[in-house]
Chains A and B, each alone.
Chain A
Amino acid sequence: MVVRKGIKVTVAKLRKGLILSIGVIVVLALFPIIGVPRVWLLYLFLFFIYLTMANMWNLLAGYSGLVSLCPAAFIGLAGYTMTIMTWLGLPYYVGILPGAIVAALFAMLISIPVFRMRGIYFAIGTLVVPEILRVVFLLWKPVGGPMDGGGRGYTVHGVAEVSRSQPYWLALAIGIASIFLMRYILRSKFGTGLAAIRDNDNTAASCGINVFSLKLYSFVIAAFVMGIAGTIFYIYQGFIEPTSAFSVRWLITLMLATVIGGEGTEEGPIVGTIIVVILYFLLARYAEISLIIQGIILLGIMLLAPQGIVGSIRETRTYQSLFQLATRR
């Protein structure tokens, strides 16, 4: 009896949570229609894009033990794929999926050398990858005349007349999807396998978990989802150029968002991305010192609360007792 009652309560709670989140999503989706200021839309757009990427970076660094420094490679490659497809006369939305697929295939390709490395060597290996791509795209001009491509970059064709709300909706969709994807992954057999690997990969391997393939799956999934977010970002920006597309700034933003919130926690990237976007908003006027301040914040967080905000809250006694109360049957 007691158990059934408990289940009923949880189901009711779940339903309440679901209704609440659907309500929030609908309101967010209606924002462009009800005429919310453009600046809000821009920052919300950035929030969803960064949230998606930070979630994926968290999946890699926080859950799979892969401190991968190459998100810019996936983002830039997907963005370039989409842009080149618009130059071939296809509408921009056709390019989103191929962009992500190219990013995922590229992840598989670089996993051949990179997955042979461990720990710090893996970090070094992945750091090199975006730089290689940057040089490649500075030299290689797949489409257009001699005046396009290379260092001059490409404009994304066919997005000038598209309203700003379409990329916003796409970003909203992928942002929400990434949250649910993380929930799903972490509660699946795959997620528990990853957790086992993160805690001790030798033990995990001796328990029959295929460490290599699980890491590879999460690498490829992260590349795919980051690729989608990357294409949406470049649809909004309408322009792509190698130095910014393969820049280390992508990594710094994602790292900042994940670390501030709490690496290896599910809510961490959400909290962190909110703070990062607010920070961007506040620092927009002081562009020249913006990155210095971000660097100082990164150092400060690492010194004062290395588990991030969510991680630190979890350690407090109030949270522990609330958690016990909430889970008691």
Chain B
Amino acid sequence: MLDRRRAVKRLLADRGDLLVVCGLGSPTYDVAAAGDDDRNFYLWGAMGGAAMIGLGLALARPERRVLVLTGDGEMLMGMGALATIAAKAPPNLAVVVLDNSRFGETGGQRSHTAGPTDLAAVAAGCGIPLTMSVTDEAGLDALAQSVRSANATLFARISIAPDMPPRVLPLRDGAALKRRFRAALGIGD
């Protein structure tokens, strides 16, 4: 099991032109802790929607790399999105689940991935062309490389420890997050 903060920091190091969407709760704090950036779209709600926001963004900007970082609970709520994404399979989209098998925000209750559910197998079964299950530093390095250069839709789960590091709270105003993200892409209002 990996440390969530270190894992996210590793994935976002030297991010280049990577666009990031992160699911509500701890993944948003992890991405903020790695360094705020106008090209981060933090979610504070809309549970189950992160991967689909990534799909819309990846289809709109085929020349950019898009990374969705979310948790196992958020992915489980919108698991059908994996089938929807596989049907379009944009090669510039990576969905990475920080999997601690817990609903962290609500008291650490065990999620389905604490039991028999394997999200990487779900993604593969949906037809996502590249799937990875990351459990160590070497796997994390390989994933960081794939997020930048894979030529196919990628899904990865990273096995992380269930501890809760101190919260790092980024901007919460949704309209402001939207405006700054678009401005960073040079899109006028």
Decide whether A and B assemble into one complex.
Answer: no
